[in-house]
Amino acid sequence: MTKVDTVDIAVDADALDEISRGMMLAELAITDNKKDTLKNVAKFNPWHEQALKHITGSKQRAHLPLKDILYEDMGELILDCEIDVRGITKGGHFLDTQGYVAHNNDYVVVAFRCTTSIFDWLTNLNTSSSAWEIDVDAPQGYSGICSSLDGLCFQGENYKPRVHTGFYNNFLATLPTIRKHVDRYLVSYERPRTLYIVGHSLGAGIANMTATYFLLHHDWTMLPQNLVAFTAGSPRSICQSMKKVVDDKRQEYGEKNVRFYRLVKGKDAVTTVPPKLLGFVHMVEPTVITDEGGIVLRLKEVDAETNVMDLVTIQKDQICQKYLTSSGNKSLESEMKSDMDEETDEESDDEAETKYNNLVARIPKALRDHMPDFYLKPLFRAKGINVGTIRPNEEAAADDTSESDKAGHQKTRQIGTIEETTEKKVRPWVPKVFRRKKQLVPEVGPFF
């Protein structure tokens, strides 16, 4: 076995700002404007409700329609459209992609929803690749059958760049909608906005395809806009032939115009699939959230290939699969549903937090590290925010026209050990990661 040496570099304040913003925007794709979407997701995936509580400040606000959260909590982002593509293409490829497009004066956002069934998804991830042939594939909305190579995607210099078939086809299905709402902002006479392409988990794979498209099909040295691609817990989604194309373009445009971030928390299992043994690689080097809570860019000093490492990864995946199909996991799933069904409005924040912590403690670390709230909390702490149990006045935060607001009563909300008192109308809770708190992070510029 060849040892791969690495070097860790602390991320700067600007990068941490973009990473934190990207993570929140990506997680918000888990909800939409439909009634009870988050409630239904949280029955078996309570970590998503937990993550949105961190972002919005309360359980009540977490369940607001997506358009309200984007506008009130994320810098007056206007929801342009929701993405919802399901079915089977004429080429026989399965589609199941949700997300949204939004914008304000500073940003344009394309976000893709993560999977809500990580347990099943890890065991059923396909390993085929397709040639990147946008000119041919985009008009028909799916990749050509002959371009797919089941299992392996090793290529020589004369091959076309190749990417993961499943992610590529889901991207192709969403491309007309994305172009309709995004292209209008990528012109010389528009404001110098930042285009964020973001996704977590399954959504990260599709975000990689989308970011690749915008990277290759626009001249970012000529446009006043710039591109930020952010993924968290991303699976491998491209082959080495495409990585070379992406690396060359990123180098050509420079970090002033194009910035790609791949965030990895601890031992996140999803980042190890599909195996490198099958020819898949990650888009860029990882920004790692260490077990100690540090946020570092991890660079390889020696890029050594080793089949032994790949075999270990495969074995690790098999262990996870065995655990997830065991009777013990079924018991955990039943307990999750039972816990959610028993939860009442009268349950205190401390009780709910304790119940949640006891639940996730039973989940293997490799899967626990993939959960969105486990990504968010270290980022908030790195920004100087004391993250604990969030206890805003939930009734007032969810409804600014409550009777107590009209009466001008005092409201006190507590975030960790930080207390804030306001009078009269309680303003919507804006994530502290975007507040102008120079005493906490003096080197960071203005936020929303």
Q: Which region among 3-17, 67-81, 319-333 has the lowest average model confidence (pLDDT)?
A: 319-333
Q: Given pLDDT bands bounded at 50, 70 and 90, which one contains residue 439?
A: very low
Q: Given pLDDT bands bounded at 50, 70 and 90, which one contains residue 4?
A: low
Q: Which region among 286-300, 352-366, 431-445 has the lowest average model confidence (pLDDT)?
A: 431-445
Please report the pLDDT score of residue 338 as a whole number.
Answer: 52
pTM, 2 dp: 0.79
46-56 and 349-360 helices cross at what angle (nearest 10)? 130
343: Cα within 13 Å, side-chain hemisphere: 19
Asked, for residue 288, whether it belongs to a domain, the answer is: yes
Q: Given pLDDT bands bounded at 50, 70 and 90, which one contains residue 147?
A: low
Q: Given pLDDT bands bounded at 50, 70 and 90, which one contains residue 137?
A: very high
Please report the pLDDT score of residue 100 as a whole number.
Answer: 99
Q: Which region among 54-63, 135-144, 165-174, 346-355 has the lowest average model confidence (pLDDT)?
A: 346-355
* pLDDT at residue 447 tops 70: no
Query: How remote is the C-alpha of 188 from its chain's centroid?
Result: 29
Query: Rounded to a whole number, what is the distance in angstroms from the first to the last CA of the chain?
Result: 48
Q: Which region among 21-25, 120-124, 128-132 has the lowest average model confidence (pLDDT)?
A: 120-124
Taking phi over 0 as left and psi of -120 to 50 as alpha, with beta for the rest, 178 belongs to alpha
Please say whether the beta carbons of 122 and 273 come within 8 A.
Answer: yes
* Cα separation, 422 vs 435, whole angstroms: 16
Asked, for residue 332, whether it belongs to a domain, the answer is: no
For the stretch 220-239, pLDDT in tens is 999 999 999 999 999 999 99
Q: Given pLDDT bands bounded at 50, 70 and 90, which one contains residue 344?
A: low
The sheet carrying 411-415 orders its strands as 390-391, 411-415, 418-422
162: Cα within 13 Å, side-chain hemisphere: 27
**Residue 121 in 3-state DSSP?**
helix
Report residue 235 as tokens.
């699976």
Please report the pLDDT score of residue 102 as a whole number.
Answer: 99
Q: Which region among 33-42, 205-214, 348-357, 418-427 has the lowest average model confidence (pLDDT)?
A: 418-427
Please report the pLDDT score of residue 391 as a whole number.
Answer: 34
Of 431, 364, 367, 352, residue with least CA distance to 397: 431
Number of domains in the chain: 1
Q: For residue 263, what are the domain limits?
A: 6-325+364-396
For the stretch 89-128, pLDDT in tens is 887 888 889 999 999 999 999 999 998 765 556 555 778 8
* pLDDT at residue 206 tops 80: yes
Q: Given pLDDT bands bounded at 50, 70 and 90, which one contains residue 204?
A: very high
Report residue 134 as tokens.
């946008």
Asked, for residue 138, whether it belongs to a domain, the answer is: yes
Asked, for residue 118, whether it belongs to a domain, the answer is: yes
Please report the pLDDT score of residue 183 as a whole number.
Answer: 98
Asked, for residue 11, whether it belongs to a domain, the answer is: yes
Please say whether the beta carbons of 227 and 214 come within 8 A.
Answer: yes
Which is higher by pLDDT, 320 or 68?
Answer: 68
Which is higher by pLDDT, 304 or 119?
Answer: 119
Asked, for residue 357, whether it belongs to a domain, the answer is: no
For every residue of 30-84, DSSP letters joined together read G--SSTTHHHHHHTT-HHHHHHHHHHHSSHHHHTS-HHHHHHHHTTS-EEEEEEE
Please report the pLDDT score of residue 349 as a whole number.
Answer: 72
Asked, for residue 203, whether it belongs to a domain, the answer is: yes
* pLDDT at residue 209 tops 70: yes
Read off the CATH number of the domain in which 195 is found. Answer: 3.40.50.1820
What is the pLDDT averaged over residues 122-148?
A: 81
Asked, for residue 31, whether it belongs to a domain, the answer is: yes
Count of CB atoms within 10 A of residue 167's CB? Answer: 29
H-assigned helices in 146-225: 165-182, 202-216
Q: Given pLDDT bands bounded at 50, 70 and 90, which one contains residue 413?
A: very low
**Residue 119 in 3-state DSSP?**
helix
For the stretch 239-291, pLDDT in tens is 999 999 999 999 999 999 999 999 999 999 999 999 898 899 999 999 999 99
